[in-house]
Amino acid sequence: MAINRFFSFLFLILLLPTMATAFEWHIVPDKSSLYFQAIQNNSPIKGEFKKFTGNIKFDQQALNKSHVDITVDTASVSTSFKDVEDALKTAEWFDAKAFPKATFIAKNFKKISDKDYEAHGQLTLRDKTLPLTLHFTFEKYTDNEAIVTGNATVNRTEFGVGQGEWKKTDGVKDPVEINFKIEAVK
């Protein structure tokens, strides 16, 4: 009996990692991207965060056990116009020195339709943490490969992105659109 129980226990122990990894996705950095777009002088200004990592545990069949945790390297901000890129790294904007990381953590997921989902989580940008809802769509979802595209809109001033005179939203408007694509493998 004791031996049987021991083997059952051993079996469970051995099974645990596979149960954990069955949920776990690894981002493919080269095929994933994180863009944002704001409005300045009534026209779009685009940028990108080149570096971000994430812990993604997600299963379409087990949303209540899913968990997403994305960390963005704020110093990896990039725009076509170097002056804008340099300005965005300064204390008035992302303050990449004081706040090198921005995070998004979500544990609450909602299925909207077959491929469309919502992630209700918390975005931490600079020293502010506020709720944020992401909309995302599965372009591909197989046992070991997933492609997701999504978007969200944040009001930059709520996070203090744009200090001093930049708090005014006539030059650079408040809403910023975020667009992302994540390719992940198991």
Partner 1 sequence: MIFKNTENRFGMITIVLHWLMAAMMVGLSIIGLWMVRIPISVQKLQFYGWHKEWGMLALMLVIVRLAWRIRNITPALDAIPAWEELAARAVHWAFYFFMFALPVTGWLITSSADLPVSFFGLFTFPNLMSGNEANRLLISNIHEWLGYALIATFCMHTGAALKHHFINKDNILRRMLWP
Instruction: Supply 38's token pair.
Output: 């704001």
Binding pattern for the stretch 5-44 against partner 1, x by CB under 8 A and - elsewhere: -----------------------------------xxxxx
DSSP state of 32: -
Helix (H, G, I), strand (E, B) or coil at 114: coil
Residue 93 C-beta: closest distance to partner 1, Å: 10
Give, as ranges, the residues between 112 and 171 that touch partner 1 (CB under 8 A). Answer: 165-166, 168, 170-171
Longest CA–CA span in the chain (Å) reads 77
Of 93 and 159, nearer to partner 1 (C-beta) is: 93
Q: For tokens 């600079």, what's the residue?
A: 126
Binding pattern for the stretch 43-82 against partner 1, x by CB under 8 A and - elsewhere: xxxx--------------------------------xxxx
Of 66 and 157, nearer to partner 1 (C-beta) is: 157
Query: How many residues lie near partner 1 (CB under 8 A)?
Result: 20
d(CA 173, CA 37): 10
For residue 142, give the H/E element and its range. Answer: none
Residue 41 C-beta: closest distance to partner 1, Å: 3
d(CA 93, CA 56): 28
d(CA 128, CA 134): 18
Residues that bind partner 1 (CB under 8 A): 40-46, 79-84, 87, 165-166, 168, 170-172
